[in-house]
Amino acid sequence: MSEPLISLHNIVKSYRRGQQTVPVLSGVTFDIAAGEFLALMGPSGSGKSTLLNLIAGIDRPDSGQLIVAGEDIGRLPEAALADWRARHVGFIFQFYNLLPVLSALENVELPLLLKDMPRRERRERAELALSMVGLSDRLDHAPSELSGGQQQRVAIARALITDPTLIVADEPTGDLDRESANDVLRLMQRLNDEIGKTIIMVTHDSRAAGHAHAIMHLEKGELSGREEVGK
Amino acid sequence: MLLSLIFRNAFRHKLRTLLTVVGLTVAVLAFGLLSTVVEAWYAGAEGASNARLVVRNAISLVFPLPLTYRQKIRQIEGVRGITTANWFGGIYKEPKNFFPQFAVEASSYLDLYPEYLLSEAERKDFQRDRKGAIVGEKLAATYGFKVGDTVTLKGTIYPGQWEFVIRGIYNGRDAKTDVSQMLFHWDYLNETMKIRIPRRANQIGVYVVEVADPSRVAEISRIIDNEFKNSNAETLSETEKAFQLGFVSMTEAIVVAIRLVSYLVIFIILAVMANTMAMTVRERTAEYATLKALGFGPRFVLLLIYGESLAIAALGGALGIALTFPVAVAFGNAMGTLFKVFAVSGATVALQAACALAVGFISALVPAYRAARVNIVAGLRSIG
């Protein structure tokens, strides 16, 4: 059996709220294989977003081992972790998080500034990524000139542009109407099916979760079960 | 793309940026103008010669010196030339029309002041006419004096109405030369005083002494003062520069106050700009967190914020500096002959630029530090 892409072992995470320590994850252990499309579900406060943040390397566990793409990211220094994120993780946020002063093309091009790449090549790649999400005719549009669904598709193109090892999506359809949500989910499914991208998605929406291969349920900071989605 | 991002961010809130730039422009302009006023204050001393000594009554400038001192001073070894000047203090039409007037020894005065440039013909006309006067080009321009005009002054120190005929208009050899004075014959003053108040005749305000070797001014000033020690009118000799600075020191408190105000203006705009940058960064916390999530380091975030702050400061500073020149000209004209020289110096422009950039840099310090250290998870949750 091949090595899992993501391996969590006894992950513990808590937050301080004033004088109090609030436990969020209590000894979570599981693996995710490369090429999986996994949905994380659970009630508010169950720790699903925290788990996603830990896997994406934007937060650190209190204890436990977290190996992603062969790297124990819980032990990486800050600068190395930033570099690791740039190489391995594509982000899709609930509210798109595009820079409002940049055009769709420039937003997609942005992560490539971290690569040693000529401007023309950056442009070509960004145009290609936008064409993959069906926005070739919206290259010069500012985010404010795009609908929510279109903005999320720009965000997906931005997540794809560096060809990351995995894509993390935190409530990617939470701010969209049903039709736009379906478009975005179908697009994510295509990325998984056609390019083989590993995707981890946090969602409250069981219909959204239905687009994944498997659903991981969390409750009070612990895994309560894994459910394979029948196709 | 980075520069483009900085500039687009800088003008994201057009009204806020516009108001900040206007504030900076006004502050830099005010700073430049006030600095120019301070420089103008010292302009007389700046233009003064180190090779000329001013010999005055040791008790006070108010008390005159006897005419008989002239020969004694002239005979001192190392003295190349000597001339005299009496402060006249006349009023031209109204007291507000202030300009310096000196009764001078016409035959020698211009020899000791080569920086006053006068045509040979005008010089001869002046020296020939006992009621003749010469005026600096700035003074002539201010009151519209022309060669041949008769100018009447009302005496304050020397009572009565005094009529003069303008015989020449002198220019300055350089920008530091005082071209706002009126010079006329001491002989005219003295002869009139002999008739009106005889006891005040044959009196000299100050002797101006030209020293052959400028390195000996201290020694010669001591020799002059020793010469008249224990006389009825002891002398105090000092370089022209020290003499002028003596006047400036009388108003030192005003100069200090002006300097303080000029820096206070910069401090106020620093507070305004710091507030602008703090608001800007607070609103964009989620964007900086996003950039960090994408893999950009704290240095990139610092660069964005400093770039934006410095761009706004540079724009406001450049506009302020550009406006200083025409405003200084208008201000100098409005002040008439109050300031001998009123020009924006290179040092003032450099200080303005330095202040603007310092405002840009300091105002971004705390917001940039905070943004660079923003926790990604907390930052992504923040709402601008």
Residue-level pLDDT at B383? 62
C-alpha distance from A58 to closest chain B C-alpha (Å):
6
- Residue A130, domain CATH: 3.40.50.300
**C-beta of residue B352 within 8 angstroms of C-beta of residue B32:** yes
**Residue A88 in domain:** yes
State yes or no: pLDDT of B126 exceeds 60: yes
Where residue A196 falls (left for φ over 0; alpha for ψ -120 to 50; beta otherwise) is left
Domain positions in chain B are 2-44+252-379, 59-233
* Chain A residues near residue B4 by CB distance under 8 angstroms: 106
- A148, with CB counted inside 10 A (0-12, 13-18, 19+), is middle
Among the partner-chain residues A101, A106, A111, the one whose CB lies closest to the CB of B294 is: A111
Residue-level pLDDT at A38? 96
**C-beta of residue A158 within 8 angstroms of C-beta of residue A110:** yes
- Consecutive H or E run containing B163: strand B160-172
Q: What is the mean pLDDT of residues A164-175?
A: 94
Q: For chain A, what is the domain count? A: 1
Say yes or no: B378 contacts chain A, CB-CB below 8 A: no
Any idea which of A105-109, B51-55, B243-247, B273-277 has the lowest mean pLDDT? B243-247
Residue-level pLDDT at B40? 84
For the stretch B294-343, pLDDT in tens is 999 999 999 999 999 999 999 999 999 999 999 999 998 887 667 777 88
State yes or no: pLDDT of B252 exceeds 90: no
Residue A92 pairs in a beta bridge with A169
User: Can you tell me the distance from the alpha carbon of A129 to that of A109, in angstroms, rounded to the nearest whole number?
Assistant: 9
The rounded percent of chain B whose pLDDT value lies above 70 is 98
* Chain B residues near residue A110 by CB distance under 8 angstroms: 1, 294
Q: What is the mean pLDDT of residues B241-268?
A: 87
Mean pLDDT of chain A, nearest integer = 93
Say yes or no: B293 contacts chain A, CB-CB below 8 A: yes
* Chain B residues near residue A158 by CB distance under 8 angstroms: 294
Q: Please give the distance of CA A49 from its chain centroid, rounded to a whole number.
A: 10
**C-beta of residue B360 within 8 angstroms of C-beta of residue B276:** no
* Chain A residues near residue B7 by CB distance under 8 angstroms: none
State yes or no: pLDDT of A1 exceeds 50: no
Residue-level pLDDT at B337? 67
Q: What is the mean pLDDT of residues A9-31?
A: 92
Residue A9 sits at φ, ψ, to 5 deg, of: -130, 110
C-alpha distance from B7 to closest chain A C-alpha (Å):
10
A44 CB neighbour count, 10 Å cutoff: 7
**Residue A1 in domain:** no
- B271, with CB counted inside 10 A (0-12, 13-18, 19+), is exposed
Question: Which SS3 state, helix, strand or coil, does residue B165 take?
Answer: strand
Residue-level pLDDT at B342? 82
Q: Which residue do the tokens 């006389």 mark?
A: B231
Q: How confident is the model at residue B248 (pLDDT cuts 50, 70, 90)?
A: confident
For the stretch A93-132, pLDDT in tens is 999 999 999 999 999 999 999 998 999 999 999 999 999 9
**Residue A204 in domain:** yes
Residue-level pLDDT at A100? 95
Say yes or no: A87 contacts chain B, CB-CB below 8 A: yes
Residue A20 sits at φ, ψ, to 5 deg, of: -90, 145
List, as ranges, residues 108-137 from A with C-beta within 8 Å of B: 109-111, 113-114, 119
State yes or no: pLDDT of A189 exceeds 50: yes
**C-beta of residue A170 within 8 angstroms of C-beta of residue B376:** no
Residue-level pLDDT at A65? 95
A85/B294 CB distance under 8 A = yes
Q: How confident is the model at residue B175 (pLDDT cuts 50, 70, 90)?
A: confident
Please give the torsion angle defined by the CA atoms of residues B170, B171, B175 and B180, in that order, rounded to the nearest 10 degrees. 30
User: Can you tell me the distance from the alpha carbon of A187 to that of A218, in angstroms, rounded to the nearest whole number?
Assistant: 26
Q: How confident is the model at residue A231 (pLDDT cuts 50, 70, 90)?
A: low
**C-beta of residue B147 within 8 angstroms of C-beta of residue B126:** no
Chain B residue with minimum CA distance to A103:
B5
Q: Residue A130: which domain range?
A: 6-228
Q: What is the mean pLDDT of residues A221-227?
A: 91
For the stretch B348-367, pLDDT in tens is 999 999 999 999 999 999 99
Among the partner-chain residues B2, B9, B293, the one whose CB lies closest to the CB of A58 is: B293
| CA proximity to A93, closest of A41, A128, A39, A49 | A49
DSSP string, chain A: -PPPSEEEEEEEEEEEETTEEEEEEEEEEEEE-TT-EEEEE-STTSSHHHHHHHHHTSS--SEEEEEETTEEGGGS-HHHHHHHHHHHEEEE-TT----TTS-HHHHHHGGGGGS---HHHHHHHHHHHHHHTT-GGGTT--GGGS-HHHHHHHHHHHHHTT--SEEEEESTTTTS-HHHHHHHHHHHHHIIIII--EEEEE-S-HHHHTTSSEEEEEETTEEEEEEEPP-
For the stretch B35-88, pLDDT in tens is 999 888 877 677 777 789 999 999 988 899 999 999 999 999 999 999 999 999
ipTM entry: 0.94
**C-beta of residue B289 within 8 angstroms of C-beta of residue B374:** yes
User: Can you tell me the distance from the alpha carbon of B308 to that of B287, in angstroms, rounded to the nearest whole number?
Assistant: 15
Chain B residue with minimum CA distance to A50:
B377
**C-beta of residue B142 within 8 angstroms of C-beta of residue B134:** no
User: Considering the entire predicted model, what is its pTM?
Assistant: 0.77
User: Can you tell me the distance from the alpha carbon of B71 to that of B77, in angstroms, rounded to the nearest whole number?
Assistant: 12
Q: Are strands A166-170 and A89-92 parallel, antiparallel or unpaired?
A: parallel
